[in-house]
Structure 1
Amino acid sequence: MTVASRVSPIDPKKLLQREFSAAGLKPKDAFQTLPEWWEEAVAHPSGVFEVRGFVAKHFGLEIGPDGRLRQRHMPHACFKTRTGTDISEIVSARALATAVAKVVASATTVSWSGSLPSAATLRATAITHGNTPWVGLDDLLDACWSNGVPVVYMPSLPVTKSKMEGMVTFCGGRPVILVTKKATAPAWMLFVLAHEMGHIAEGHLDQCEGEAIVDEKVSEGDTDTDDQEKAANTYALQLLTGGKKGNISLKHPMPPAELGRTAVEFGFKVGIDPGHVILNAASNSVFNGKHPFPLANAALKHIGENVPTADMCREAMRRNIDMDALSDDSLEFLERIGLL
């Protein structure tokens, strides 16, 4: 008598883990963003399909003919990458960021104004209505959201390959800016956000659903860039510095507190955010063969940059989206990935 062997069914969690990895996601991080019901759901045969549907919507994937998760074909994007970087390395990050942008755009309360004002106009408005003679991160966030441009700060994308520092995409009838550069201190986000605003203001982004400009690296000092990148940098510098020329550098290292005081005095004198002054000085100074960024980070703590970037961005989002317009799953997702 022949006894038929039994094939053990694949554990649903392991099955999803394989699919996450194949789609470029970090399984451990991806599982942490799933809604509370997912573990109970996969205990039933149809539950895996329900979880796949959630992931496809919120991570920018699709369900293939075999019923499994896979990368989705994305609309055209203009990738600004460093020499030697394969665009395929950033695909997963772009897809996830686009999916998040769609969710946020769907609940944004202010309509898209159709354009961002000139850098000079935004700078004058910020300084006139603000408490300082410079443009800070709170000013940039207010300028974007008040013109119907959501700003999404996602420094920890759960992807296995490379990610970009900044991106702007057109979703739900509006541009959405996404910054993924890790920036504990607001000063680190200033130039990246202003650069992405430049892409919008200069008309670089096609207003077609899903179109995107993906900046792997955003740097004030980049000179070997295309015309769009140069224009976005010019816009950012006009907005942050009033178009003042020249780079700041340090003649010698100094204690963090002294550097902070010097930057604040200089900032009040010339109308530039002291945090930007500190980072500019660090990027243009070299001691013992290295840029003094540890010194810069220590100095930032002495100038009142005590509110983390993530907190500022979360507060701005809470003020400008209608949470009741989101499904319970989407709202929980935004909370789990740290946006709310």
Structure 2
Amino acid sequence: MTNTITMSALYGKLSKIGLKQDYIRENGLPSWWDEELNDKSVAVLEGAGYIANNLNLDLKSLLVPEEEVRFNPPPHTKFKQHNSNNKEHPHIAQALTSRVTELISYGTEINFTPIPTDVKEIRKEIITTHTTVNLKSLLEYCWNKGIIVGCFHNFPKKAKKFAGLIQWQGDRPVIILSSQHKHSARVTFDLAHELGHLALGHLEEGVLVDEEIEVNCHDDDEECQANQFATYLLLGDCDNCLKNKKFYNNKQLITHAKKKAQENPTVEVTSIILNNAWHNDNWGFANKALNTLDHETNGQKIINEYLADRLDWDKFNDESYEYLEKVLGV
């Protein structure tokens, strides 16, 4: 085997499961890899080890020519899929995320404290030390309870994606957000939604994958419960406080949202705007309003900066360090 294995052969096998050469070169192999090593069997064996380690692959299946490449067996997984006509699940995205989850859990020294099932208790606890429930105050709450939070969406282009994931690593939960939303209000809602699943006992082991986080959840009681949890956590009694008022431009929406925020000082203006869009399908004005108020904020970056500050980077070998640094964008 060591006399015949080439990187070209590995690329060919990996492409059959949706991992193309460019993706492997960028994410599976270390930056020092040189194309001159592609036909040197000993070097390729080492490279295969890096690919398998970073991308959660079974190394034997990668190296044995007659075997199809497979990911390492996942924990028991509960998929939350809203389109019942589409039976495809984001298995590749989950497998890649599970590896990142393992790494950041390994690099973090915190203990999990079970959280209340009553969202009012959680909101009250956050408000005792923060002015409003926003992304930063919710992140601090999660980390103080031993809940690891990160953002990761570094997937192959054609792989089916998901919005959020909770994975138990030993006795600790890890929440990974994976949508492309950058507005802090939307990222905060997604985090609150996943926290709702955790608080309400929807996942006690294994993995829960939210393929989408949408207002239309009538076919899934747990999704509706997580949405209700997130809504109250962020807005308290201010849910749908703008009701069905018609807005003619984003400036008018901002003006009314600010007025309601003044009346409800523990609620963020951006949360009110997002909430209005959910109730009235007013996404055009809402997105323009969020761009105006939140144009320099990147919610994903905030989450991963919190994560990076809490990782013990010295625990990782050079290749895992480089991989995490790249995919977390820190």
Pairs within 5 Å for 1:105-116: 105-115=105-115
CA distance in 2 between partners of 1:220 and 1:302 (Å): 24
- CA 97–246 in structure 1, closer or farther in 2 if over 3 Å, else same: same
Partner Cα separation in structure 2 for residue 142 and residue 249 of structure 1 = 31
Alignment-derived partner of residue 55 in structure 2: 59
Kept in 1, the 8 Å contact 2:111–2:145? The answer is: yes
Aligned length in residues: 319
Structure 1 segment 1-340 matched on structure 2, within 5 A? 12=7, 14-33=8-27, 34-39=29-34, 41-65=37-61, 67=63, 69-82=69-82, 83-87=84-88, 89-115=89-115, 118-130=118-130, 132=131, 134-158=132-156, 160-207=158-205, 211-226=206-221, 228-242=222-236, 244-246=238-240, 248-249=242-243, 251-270=245-264, 271-285=266-280, 291-304=281-294, 306-340=296-330
- SS, match of residue 164 in structure 1: coil
Which amino acid in 2 is paired with 1:136? N
Contact 1:26 1:159 in 2 (8 A): no
- In 2 relative to 1, CA 19–221 (structure 1 residues): closer, same or farther, beyond 3 Å? same
* Amino acid aligned to 1:201: A
The TM-score with structure 1 as length reference comes to 0.84
Query: In structure 2, how many angstroms separate the alpha carbons of the residues matched to 1:280 and 1:105?
Result: 33
* Cα distance in 2 for residues equivalent to 1:112 and 1:64: 35
Using the TM superposition, give the Cα deviation of residue 30 of structure 1 relative to its aligned residue in structure 2, in angstroms: 3.5
8 Å contact kept, 2:113–2:145 = yes
Name which of structure 1's ranges 34-43 and 292-301 shifts more when overlaid on structure 2.
Answer: 34-43
1:4 corresponds to which residue?
none
Deviation at 1:53? 1.8
> 1:214 corresponds to which letter in structure 2?
V
Structure having the larger proportion of residues in helix? 2
Whether the 8 Å CA contact 1:116–1:200 is kept in 2: the answer is no
Q: Residues of 2 paired with 1:230 and 1:253: CA distance?
A: 27
Change (3 A) 1:66 1:101: closer
Q: Using the alignment, how far apart are the partners of 2:253 and 2:240 within structure 1?
A: 19
**Which stretches in structure 2 are left out of the alignment for 5+ residues?**
none
CA displacement at 1:36 relative to structure 2: 1.3
Are the aligned partners of 2:134 and 2:188 in contact in 1 as well (CA < 8 Å)? yes
Identity %: 28
Moved more, 160-169 or 107-116: 107-116
Q: Deviations over 1:104-151 (max 9, x none)?
A: 000113222244674223212222222x3x311111211111211111
Q: Which moved more, 1:301-310 or 1:165-174?
A: 301-310
- Quick one: distance in 2 between partners of 1:65 and 1:35? 21
Shift of 1:175: 0.7
Point out where structure 1 has 5 or more consecutive residues left out of the alignment.
1-8, 286-290
CA offsets 1:266-285 (integer angstroms, 9 cap, x no match): 12323432222212222333
Q: Residues 16 and 65 of structure 1: is their aligned pair in 2 closer, same or farther, counting only changes over 3 Å?
A: closer
Residues 217-274 of structure 1: per-residue CA shift (max 9 Å, x gap): 1124422213x32332232222112255547455434332332232222123234322
SS in 2 for 1:167: strand
SS at match of 2:173: strand
CA RMSD of aligned residues (A): 2.5
Relative to 1, partners in 2 of residues 1:44 and 1:200: Cα closer, same or farther, differing over 3 Å?
Answer: same
TM-score (norm 2): 0.86
